Amino acid sequence: MQQGTHPWLAQQRVHYGQPAAPLVRGEAQAAGARRVFVTTTRSLSAGPLVAGCIEALGDAFADKFDAIAAHSPREAVIEGAARLREAQADLVVAIGGGSVIDATKVMLQAVWYGIDTTAGLRAIVGGRHRGGADPGAWDADPQALRMVAVPTTLSAAEFSNVAGVTDTARGLKQMYTHPLAVPKAVILDPAATLDTPERLLLSTGMRAMDHAVERWCAIRPLPFGDALSLQAMKMLAAGLPRLKAAPQDLQARSDCQVAMWLSLLPQSAGVPFGASHGIGYILGGAYGVPHGETSCVTLPAVLEWNEPVNGERQKAIAEALGRPGERAGPVLRAFVRALGLPWRLRDVGIAREQLPQIAGRYDGTGPIAANPRPVSSPADIVEILELAW
């Protein structure tokens, strides 16, 4: 008999298939917010989405911080937290992809705990604060300053209380968590993704596929996670090709947004990732490969390497992608190629001679340690990387 406790995220609402600007205004009014701070990225800062949300906020708009780069560098987190303090904000609206949303989660924690240097962030890595790492411990450390998220990619960062922020000096992605770091409300506006470059949007869709596939294959699966992961795979398998074929199809975009929402919900139940995510963290933090693209190249290879231990389980993946009876790894690689995305490490700038160096960065922790087929040495990681190269 399976036993456990399922925590729920401190997320009050998810709006879907609706325009962002009026919902941002409504969330600010519902929160009684008088000073709303907007976080975003420079590529979106002057565009219609951010402008429309700021206009909708009216006199409640306090300030904007847009210097958030890919992989959420710690320097941007500290700079943004300083601006957030100066603004005396009572609500934050994060508009952007996973880097913006993750950076904002840690900006909040820097404000809550009075952290004003990058070195100071080390004290709270992994939930080492009174809030802790339990996503269901809402009352452990009550905080009034919260976030509303308007995602523009399919990375699904807004459905997690965990954030990845990069220590750029060491090329190391570190995880920060707090039960109230998760956005209190999420606005899934399909039109908010229209200005996102196709390669970025589709590759973050593959990131969502990676969430679903690795959780389906997890060492500790749960019925809750299985149901969500399988449905997410099916919706992404149908929705991403539709999105590529008809970029103005808002229904396809909305379907992919709902699918990426489903793909991340098993995280709160404790269903772990595997080596695809873990190797992706190394490639992103140390080599600058966008996280969506790491999933494109690592996930098929990890499936192939894991096949001796979970080949039967993988059959459902191939079936969800419309290729029943075939091997999941090659099916997924063909799916990535059909989307016009990079499918080999060499396509994202990784040279073959770098593979041992990449493998040597594994420290025995993180998602790689939870891979279905145990990874016992850097040599095992090199085998996976060779399959991906």
Task: Please give the pLDDT value at position 274.
Answer: 96
CATH number, domain at 138? 3.40.50.1970
Whether residue 134 is contained in a domain is answered as yes
pLDDT at 3 (0 to 100): 84
pLDDT in the model for residue 375: 97
| pLDDT for residue 108 is more than 90 | yes
Whether the pLDDT of residue 2 is over 90: the answer is: no
Average pLDDT, the chain: 96
Dihedral (Cα; 164, 165, 168, 174), 10-degree rounding: -60
Q: Which of 147, 168, 192 is the last residue of a domain?
A: 192
Residues 327 and 183 in one domain: no
The percentage of the chain sitting over the pLDDT mark of 70, rounded to a whole number, equals 100
Contact 285, 71 (CB under 8 A): yes
Domain that holds residue 351: 197-388
Do residues 57 and 170 share a domain?
yes
Task: For residues 274 and 366, state if they share a domain.
Answer: yes
* Residue 2, in any domain of the structure: no
356 in the same domain as 316: yes
pLDDT over 90 (residue 153): yes
Question: Do the domain assignments include residue 352?
Answer: yes
Question: If pLDDT is split at 50, 70 and 90, which confidence band does 285 have?
Answer: confident
For residues 35-54, average pLDDT: 96
- Percent of the residues in the chain that have a pLDDT greater than 90, as a whole number: 93
Q: Domain check: are 141 and 289 in the same one? A: no
> pLDDT tens across 326-381, in order?
999 999 999 999 999 999 999 999 999 999 999 999 999 889 999 999 999 999 99
Domain assignment present for 1: no
Number of domains in the chain: 2
pLDDT at 173 over 90: no
Question: Residue 70: its pLDDT value, please?
Answer: 86
| Residue 171 pLDDT exceeds 90 | no
- Tell me which of 162, 192, 222 is where a domain ends: 192
Q: Which of 165, 192, 219 is the last residue of a domain?
A: 192
CATH code (residue 203)? 1.20.1090.10
